[in-house]
Amino acid sequence: MKGVTIVDHPLVQHKLTIMRKRDTSTKSFRQLLKEIGGLICYEVTRDLPLEKVEIETPMTTMMAPQLAGKKLVLAPILRSGVGMLDGMLELVPAARVAHIGLYRDPVTLNCVEYYFKAPVDIAEREVIVVDPMLATANTAIAAVDRLMEAGAKSIRMACLLASPEGISKFQGHHPKVHIWTAAIDERLNDHGYIIPGLGDAGDRMYGTR
Footprint on this chain of ligand URA (rule: CB under 6 A): 80, 133, 135, 192-194, 197, 200-202
Instruction: Give CA–CA dist 68/51, Å, rounded.
Output: 5
Residue 186: strand, helix, or coil = coil
Q: Minimal distance in Å, beta carbon 50 to ligand URA? A: 36
> Quick one: how many helices (H) and strands (E) in the chain?
6, 15
CA–chain centroid gap for 17, Å, is 18
Q: Minimal distance in Å, beta carbon 131 to ligand URA? A: 9
| Closest to ligand URA by CB, 45 or 80 | 80
| Closest to ligand URA by CB, 36 or 201 | 201
| Closest to ligand URA by CB, 95 or 194 | 194
Instruction: Give CA–CA dist 63/55, Å, rounded.
Output: 6
Q: Minimal distance in Å, beta carbon 60 to ligand URA? A: 52
Residue nearest ligand URA by beta-carbon distance: 135
Residue 129 exposed, middle or buried by CB count within 10 Å (0-12, 13-18, 19+): buried
| Closest to ligand URA by CB, 38 or 192 | 192
